A and B are shown apart, each in its own frame.
Chain A
Amino acid sequence: MAEYTTLKTLDYKGLKCPMPIVKISQELPKIAVGEVVEVLTTDPGSLSDFPAWAKTTGNAILETKQESGLIKIYVKRQK
């Protein structure tokens, strides 16, 4: 299990395309490098989109969790 503290939770449940990625792109510059946010989403595509976005932007996905339709993604700002 990864060890980290989440700064805040971002609720992206039920958002339409491409808002989960748009919103995380807008949100991450607001936190300090090294900090972690928890994203809640119901979009199955986010499990592929967020890692691809992290690779593209130089950030990191620390962990993903799934609980009966709710997806939790832990995003660390790296740059």
Chain B
Amino acid sequence: MIRGIWDRETVALLLLAAIMPMALTFLWFGGSGAIGRLALALIVAGLWHLIFMLARAQPPSFAGAIAALAVAMLVPEELGMLQLALGISFGSVMAELVFGGWGRNVVNPATVTLAFLGFSFPAAPWPELVLPIAWAAIPAALIGVGFGVMSGRIVGGAVLAGVFALAFGVEPGPVLPAAGVVLVLLVCDPVASAATGGGRWLNGLLYGGLVVLFMLAWKTAAPVQIAVSAALFSSLAAPLLDEAAIGLWLARRRRRHG
């Protein structure tokens, strides 16, 4: 296996660099509350990475910092430190570390943390993202796609779904910025998303389609809640989409070559 400089940590660091614009905007507008939440998330996730390194010799990863950042940005407000720590522990252990660390997980740990906290404490309000974070998502996606650590197909599929919805006269409203932020932070995670070309298009389309569906049919949900739920479902469906893409490719090959 030839790796050169492209090992797991290179990808994690480039992803971290890609989402820096969003992180800095978030810290700039969030103030001390944002910094406190980010610090707590980093400490808890880091502790679990350390524990699994000592107990199972799993190398810790900078991907823990990406998940912590996503959690700090999207987590429901008014949660106590204990509840946050519990949610982050659950997400990083059950969704990532038990599978053998980042790269072997099925679902993004941040998505699981957010879903866990959302279902556990439905009374806690979801955050209102300030608009500059959503603008910062655009350069973040460009950096990620440019360096090849995020898939342009997923972004393209999601944008395509959004354009379709707009063409049919759906008013995006406050869901659009939330959907964009979640798209870059959670859906484009190269581990938990689809891995084949066709599967990635489908993944993006599914995420966009689910956001539109939830927006139209789920009246009581907050924008971030809609986007996180869509991200959870689409990442659960990612292996299925890959399977479908591979099936299509095999069928095409069989038709062409007999």
Are A and B genuine complex partners? no
Residues in A lying within 8 Å of B, measured CB to CB: none
